[in-house]
Amino acid sequence: MINNYLSLVKFSHTIFALPFALIGYFIGIVHLGDGVDWRLFLLVLLCMIFARSAAMGFNRYLDRDIDQLNDRTAVREIPAGVISPQNALAFVIGCCIAFVITTYYINSLCFYLSPIALLVILGYSYTKRFTSLCHIVLGLGLALAPIGAYMAVTSQIHPAILAYGVAVFTWVAGFDILYAMQDDTFDRDHNLNSIPANLGRDKAMVISISLHVVTGIALIVAGYLLHSAGIKAHLIHWVAVAIFLVLLVYQHRIVTTTDLSRINKAFFTTNGVASVVFGVLVILDLYLPSMF
């Protein structure tokens, strides 16, 4: 039963945004000069889990009829009859309530902003029905991860964290455009919107690459902005940036407009590795400056 719900929300995909949330958390800790608050750390993790589970669960609930028509998605839990729509919706509501309650125990700012966060991440599920900018909304939702985690620690926003948010925003939007290429014909046939469906694969690829160029710029800018928080980006940080950018380039090398056979490798494996490696190295750089 639990495995069915973990599969419903693709729990393993939490790995995309979670490392950036941890970056936001630890930058906040170092900025304030405090030790790690493990209670707060747990609350931040729970917020990530509840928010993402609510967003993905709602997306699966709302798209259940569409998924049933698409051979690629007909095997998902709701159209396949593994989880009923009613139970999926109850799961989403439970995750939303748990998210808001968790933010209450973090600080008042996070609590008051929690409905806005839910509006963004749940609202994404509707966007494909009326705009091709759905990828942008998805990117915005995940961009809240480092910003929200930093706010959980400091109750404020810092330019460096906003830069990391921009990086996540453009990174996610860019790779979601690539992923949407495999459904471009289906989307057009069923009056659904996406950049590949509305503009074609060639233009979608240019937009995806352009967004990822902005990702690289944002990561570099974020590193330089850390100094205003009393933090210096050392060698490990710049190695992390270099690895992330190399993997972005690799992603665009293995996926073309005429060959989507390696889209899962690009979407899941490459982006997952990029996020985890970047997160681990940046956090190490915060605590091991004397070694490099």
Identify the band that residue 7 occupies on the pLDDT scale cut at 50, 70 and 90: confident
The identity of residue 209, as a single letter, is I
Q: One-letter amino acid identity for 224?
A: Y
Tokens of 249: 């380039």
Give 244-257 pLDDT, tens digit per residue.
999 999 999 999 99
At 287 the pLDDT is 86
What is the arithmetic mean of pLDDT over 6-27?
A: 84
Give the residue-averaged pLDDT of 137-142: 95
Q: What pLDDT band is residue 12 in, cutting at 50, 70 and 90? A: low
Three-state secondary structure call for residue 267? helix
Average pLDDT for residues 132-154, to the nearest whole number? 96
Q: Is the pLDDT of residue 292 over 80?
A: no
What CATH homologous superfamily does 2-291 map to? UbiA prenyltransferase (1.10.357.140)
* 169 neighbors 213 (Cβ within 8 angstroms): no
Query: What average pLDDT does this structure show over 200-223?
Result: 97
Query: How large a percentage of the chain has pLDDT more than 70?
Result: 97
Q: How far apart are CA 175 and CA 263, in angstroms?
A: 10
Whole-structure pTM over 0.95, yes or no?
no
Average pLDDT score, the chain: 92
| pLDDT (0 to 100) of residue 145 | 95
Comparing CA positions, the residue from 123, 148, 160, 125 lying closest to residue 21 is 148
Phi/psi of residue 80, each to 5°? -80, -10
**Over 90: is that where the pLDDT of 87 sits?**
yes
The arithmetic mean of pLDDT across residues 73-96, rounded, is 94
Confidence of residue 289 (pLDDT cuts 50, 70, 90): low
pLDDT at 137 over 60: yes
Percent of the chain having pLDDT more than 90? 79
